[in-house]
Structure 1
Amino acid sequence: AAENDMKGQQAYRVVRFTWIIVLLVAALFPFYWTVNTAFAGGSAYNMPPNLVPTSLSLRGFHSALSRDNFFRWIYNTLIVAAFTVMAGVLIATAAGYNLSRFKSRFNSIVENVILGSRMMPGAVLILPTFMMFRYVRLVNSLTSLVLANILFALPLCVWMLKGFIDAIPPSLEEVAMTDGCTRLGAFYRVILPLCVPGVTAVAIFTTNLVWGEFFFARILVVMDSSKWVFSLGLATFRGQFELDYSGLMAAVFIYLVFPVAMFRFSQRAFVSGMTAGAVKG
């Protein structure tokens, strides 16, 4: 019996290790293929494609960096991301605190609306969003992109921060208010410092959302190329009769550097914030 148990444990370890390897390959292969194609140069067009590049070339990076408005796309994306994150974090923190600390029927309805809105596909919002911004004459402006991204990201951000604040004992605020703090002062001096991991997680989530967003940009700023963000600019690598694979993948590689680096240096806070935000107190 002991021998059978040992064989069963060994078989389980082999199966588990195999699945881990398969999942790692599935997760990392797209990134590897991006890097491979970016440095492949002319060999990117080989059929069948080479899993290992036969030669390295910077032709793709030259093609990407020589595009008109390439750095303008990056600048616009950074501007949209920065304002979306700042506004989104401020609104989500205040709303999450309100929903966590002030229980009422109205707040309960708001919670259910927020949760239900996350089940709505983003594509459903495209036409109403365009009609709304056209009515207020904000189409073809970065302001419309910032507002659209805030509206789309806010429900999950509020839900995450509410879950994080739920995990903070209200007694900490009560002690601060007993010592003379107002509720706003207790929020600023007690809650906000303890919410740093949650705020970091929300900021990273919002940045990644904006960094990869395409549909809102496609309908709101497509008429003015000077307002394009990077996701729209990537579409210019496809011509009428050909696709610049190497240049496209080089641009994608450059595009990925910022979010990968940001997540790498904020990984602990992101995981902590996501874990706390997933717990409903």
Structure 2
Amino acid sequence: MTILVFGKTDQIACELAELDPSVRCLGREDADLSDPQTCADLVRRLAPKAVINVAGFSSIDRAELKERQAGLINGVAPGAIALACADLGIPFVHLSSDQVFDGAGDQPFTPDHSPAPLSVYGHSKRLGERAVAASGADYAILRVSRVFSAHGKNFLKSTLALFDQRDSLEIVDDQIGGPTPARAVAQACLNIAKQLKASPKKSGVYHLAGAPDVSWKAFTEEIAEAATTQVTISGVPTSKYPTTAPRPLNARLDCLSLEAAFGITRPDWKQAVHEAVSELR
């Protein structure tokens, strides 16, 4: 075995399995992140060459009602796994989120910008970042944004389903960020894990988001074009689309340090949208 992956049915885990059949993907039945110590013990027992964590408590709204569980899964568990990786001297790649920022302004957030989460979910992801960074492991925390693919649950698949049910949609047009293909995230994780093995000094926090940055409305319009649908799409402000958890208006991520350290550039999300829609339909 080369790389151990926490996550199995998640869209990024599915892409990892397709890209590298030698990885071992762990589902909840194999490793429950709500039991951090057992997950850490599993890493020590299996002794892989690297660990990638793409699993977590992913529902931003439900986290508001499940604060303790979200903190355990997104915060405590990554720290415990990172400690096991430190003991074994192996790299750990951990996924985080643009939700650790407050969304102020209109400039892309750099990795060293001070986090200020608006939601319980954002706080839980920040807790995980701190635990991983303090573990002593050779690590990369990769913050990603608006991940989509033909696998798992995501905005693109939900939107396609709505196209089949409605003649018109109202979509938020004042939240701006970079939609990110799951395959690009998976490729980045594999690349980073391999480079960290050879260059531990590259440990740190990095960003990956697709280009260009757009609103949810513009993203939806591209999905509609790929699906050749005639649904009418209207823009609405966030204030007219209330959610349980607040969302940052500015989710732009500065990805320059990822390119400088690992040679990974921002992927073209528009091409990936057409590929995903074609695969699904």
Coarse TM-score class (shorter-chain normalised) = under 0.3
TM-score by length of 2: 0.21
| Richer in helix (by share) | 1
Q: Which structure would you say has the larger RCO, counting Cα contacts within 8 Å and 6 or more residues apart?
A: 1
